Structure 1
Amino acid sequence: MLGLAAAVGTAAATPSLLTAAPAGATHRPWCEEYTSLGGGLHPVHVLRVGAPAARQVLVLVAGQFGAAGSLRMLARELAGRLPGTQVWAVDRRETNLADLSGLRGNDPDRAADRYLAGRYRSVSAASAPYVAGWGLATALTDLRRVVRAARAGGRRVVLGGHSWGATTALAYAAWDFAGRPGYRDLTGLVLIDGGVHDAFAGEGDVYRVTPEQARAGLADIAAGTVFDPSLTMGRTETYAILQLLAGRYAVAAPDAPSTLAGRLPAPLRPPGPVSNAGLLRSEYVDAPLVPDLSVNPAYTSIATVARTLAAARPGAFEWYWPQRLTLDLSAADPFARTATTDLLGLRLCHPTAIDVPLYSFQTGLTHGTANAAARWVVAHSRISSASYDGDDAMTHLDALWADRNPMLRTLVPFLRRLEP
């Protein structure tokens, strides 16, 4: 189970960019700003998109290995249609670990020569042992900083996410923050192709972490498995770097023969010569690494994939995903207090008390289990208003990257109803 999404260009680390709003936007001014919310040595960053004066903020969390840039296209589409809503896409603290110093300028050859030769700062368990403790409690503490900032001035906050980002949003709602349930900070929940309680069962992912398995997982982390190895191709960060490079080549010269293709690891290498755009088509349409990492060209163009991947700050992918976060999110899936959650210190104390409106959208990835799981959450809580939608022809990434996104037909009205 992996979750990701869209981006265009690279924004500077903190300045505000007042730009033209996308087609379909109904208001001005249009603000797009990537900024830090603080946090000492490990700050949290957000990409803010839309009208600064909006009285409602939709905070979005990307899924596994996904970063804030993956949510940029969806953020623009939503903010452009909702004058009263600004969208904040969250970059978790681990995005600070990526060495982006070799990505200045627009020369993909120069960047490729540097990164493929390993001439950058690579982070490991030895150099960053503190990441061993970056689990769900850390992620939610950071997310609460974002939510509190979004609530400043009396604004309403809707919390949502994609894939495991949806799981994170529900965990926040159920979490006990020193006696205060997380859902009290929110006026709504948005689940995009993810959630809890077997939301991913339709793609074959069922999470039942026993206390014994949790102890074994903690032991592995203590022994050095600090980063999730799911996408490791030589180094933990290699996959994310290769996608960024592939995007930059396809943006710079889509029809030129790909010089990157022959330098890829075998699982990503196309069967024959391809163009730069053809390499992305091979990876995301013809032979995706896993179903999560694919697009349906009827919804998402290769040009959009290229622009999404080419961004560096914020980027589409996290380079380093904490293994402790994988363990904790897997253990949180039953969405109840269990012996395993107690062992891991997961404060999921209030799932049955959640009482804010919920929206759920599913693609063909989960074959119906994402919405079924959302209905279970509603049935086992105090949620009295819920909306469900889906499109089985869409992929997991289409929900975020689509040039033509059917989800907007129902998500926009849901969010509009919540606006003050």
Structure 2
Amino acid sequence: MTRGLSRRALLGGTVGGLALTTALTGPAATTATAATAATAATKTAGAGSRRGAVGPEPYVPVAVGAGGGPAGTDRVHVLKIGPDTAHTVLVLVPGMFGAAGDFRLLARDLVAAVPGVQVWAFDRREENLADRTGFATPDPAGYYLDGHYRSQDPTAAAYTAGWGLARTLDDLDTVVRMAACGGRRRVVLGGHSWGATTAMTYAAWDFDGRPGYRDLAALVVVDGGVRGAFKGTGQPVSDSPEQVRERLAAIDGGAVFDMTLSGVGLGSRAESTQIWYQLAGWYAHHDPAGRSVLQPRLPDALRPSSPLTNAGLLGTLVDVGFGWPNDISVHSGHLADADADGVRGWVDTGITPMSRVAAAYAGGPQPAVWEWYWPSRLSVDLDVADPYVDTDLARSLGLRLWHAEALDTPLYAFQTSYAKGTIVSGARDVVTNSRIPYGTYETDNGMTHLDPLFADTPHNTLTRTLAPFLTALR
């Protein structure tokens, strides 16, 4: 979902969000009432679900190689959207802390726009570690916030120290070859954020003498990539030999899970923030106009001072207007005026309706939008892969980036305001230094990093520009 937020950015977003939430205790700049907003959100959600219906959406387990984990972890999952008869399969890889559910809404839009395309959303093996059973109960907040769920203790999960890029790409290779169906279907590989980086490394990877790009008809990178793609975010990669040694030493010392999201202030465990966000989505999806179940349980520093609906609370957690970093925000709207009971709902005024965010965040319980346990080793490897060349450092980590100059598949690159232009500049650099026949480059600076995943169909520039690129491959 996100490449990785600096602690400074997260804490800055928390403070900004708190200040704005407190400031909004007065009348909102709208004439809509909370009741009207809730009714509109419910109607929008219903219309969206009917419009997005594209048939069954199976979530399929796929057996992969041994990774040293407990029983049940040697598998990945694929969310399939669109007809099995499709001649082109778009395999999408989520970004850091992201999961297959990130792509459900986007996939529905693409399948509706491009006949003959099926979308496979990839879930890494780490998803097997999450206990999502509580989301199938009537009271998920009690299950998770009262500590009834199964949490992963890093000291008992030393096996994840080996779950780096090589492990992920071997797993992804199984999925790509399955999608190709013995060469009977074209496979386009893409991803969002660090998922885009993963897709690019797959193309340059050496699979025992077989270059990854030979399996692919095209590449799609969405707000991510290589060759300095993230430079414009102000969060440069940490890939010097000294930094890598320090990070590997920390992993050897037991820091096997990336703890970046703990900086949000919603808990100190690897999965705390992800649980809160999925809970907020679950209640906003199932009862958008009801009084917020989670608000009384929020940490004091993040609790809005006026009572909110479930949809209103989710809005304060994800809307860019509340000070959250671009990485984890969307352009949705604002809080409504208080109703007769003093409760404030949500008003959609932006490109990403809160009902779509809620539907995505709510999960099923599977597949979900958030990955709970991101391996620290995967973060190290993706940083080292950024130069997209076969370096001594890359080789020392077992990264087989041997075929970047030989890439010969078309490339589509999409960027938002997130990286201030370096997503496309990185993609152009890849094209210039390879045999890629052509690149398609699109920009929408009116979007945040997450808007392309959840924006309403008429306002989603990614859908509108990616569809003709996929159609041209036919």
Distance in 2 between the 1:389 and 1:229 partners? Answer: 32
2:311 maps to: 277
Distance in 2 between the 1:271 and 1:24 partners? Answer: 36
2:330 maps to: 295
Q: How far off is 1:31 after superposition?
A: 3.5
Is this contact kept in 1: 2:129–2:152, CA < 8 A? yes
Higher helix share: 2
Match of 2:131, SS? coil
Please give the per-residue CA displacement for 1:336-390, whole angstroms capped at 9, x wherever unaligned.
Answer: 1123212211111111110100000100111111111110110111111110111
> Which amino acid counterpart does residue 86 of structure 2 have in structure 1?
A
1:222 maps to: 252
1:9 maps to: none
Distance in 2 between the 1:119 and 1:193 partners? Answer: 37
Is this contact kept in 2: 1:2–1:63, CA < 8 A? yes
Matched, 1:59 2:102: no
Match of 1:71, SS? helix
Please give the per-residue CA displacement for 1:153-172, whole angstroms capped at 9, x wherever unaligned.
Answer: 41110000000000000000
Q: 1:30 to 1:3 in 2, by over 3 A?
A: farther
2:275 maps to: 241
2:14 maps to: none
Distance in 1 between the 2:50 and 2:107 partners? Answer: 11
Q: How far off is 1:66 after superposition?
A: 0.3
2:59 maps to: 34
Distance in 2 between the 1:200 and 1:45 partners? Answer: 28
Instruction: Name the Cα RMSD after superposition.
Output: 1.9
Match of 1:159, SS? strand
Is this contact kept in 2: 1:193–1:370, CA < 8 A? yes
Q: In the TM superposition, what are the counterparts of 1:117-132 in structure 2 within 5 Å? A: 117-132=146-161
Distance in 1 between the 2:328 and 2:222 partners? Answer: 15
Is this contact kept in 1: 2:52–2:108, CA < 8 A? no
Is this contact kept in 1: 2:89–2:179, CA < 8 A? yes
Distance in 2 between the 1:138 and 1:159 partners? Answer: 17
Match of 1:376, SS? helix
Distance in 2 between the 1:151 and 1:214 partners? Answer: 36
Matched, 1:201 2:236: no
Q: In the TM superposition, what are the counterparts of 1:361-400 in structure 2 within 5 Å? A: 361-400=414-453
Matched, 1:211 2:241: yes
Q: In the TM superposition, what are the counterparts of 1:144-223 in structure 2 within 5 Å? A: 144-153=173-182, 154-223=184-253
Is this contact kept in 1: 2:188–2:218, CA < 8 A? yes
Matched, 1:354 2:407: yes
What are structure 2's unaligned runs of at least 5 residues? 5-47, 67-71, 333-349
Is this contact kept in 2: 1:56–1:84, CA < 8 A? yes
> Which amino acid counterpart does residue 310 of structure 1 have in structure 2?
A
Please give the per-residue CA displacement for 1:21-78, whole angstroms capped at 9, x wherever unaligned.
Answer: 96388xxx83411101112642110000001100110000000000000110011111
Q: Which one has the largest radius of gyration?
A: 2
1:8 maps to: none
Identity percentage over the alignment?
Answer: 51
Distance in 2 between the 1:46 and 1:350 partners? Answer: 27
Q: 1:209 to 1:266 in 2, by over 3 A?
A: farther
Is this contact kept in 1: 2:405–2:434, CA < 8 A? yes
Is this contact kept in 1: 2:283–2:293, CA < 8 A? no
Is this contact kept in 2: 1:36–1:46, CA < 8 A? yes
Q: What TM-score, normalized to structure 2? A: 0.81
Distance in 2 between the 1:150 and 1:156 partners? Answer: 8
Q: How far off is 1:80 after superposition?
A: 1.4
Match of 2:181, SS? helix
2:78 maps to: 46
Is this contact kept in 1: 2:82–2:111, CA < 8 A? yes
The number of residue pairs the alignment matches comes to 398
> Which amino acid counterpart does residue 2 of structure 1 have in structure 2?
T
Distance in 2 between the 1:132 and 1:360 partners? Answer: 31
> Which amino acid counterpart does residue 175 of structure 2 have in structure 1?
V
What are structure 1's unaligned runs of at least 5 residues? 5-19
Distance in 1 between the 2:440 and 2:213 partners? Answer: 18
Match of 2:443, SS? strand
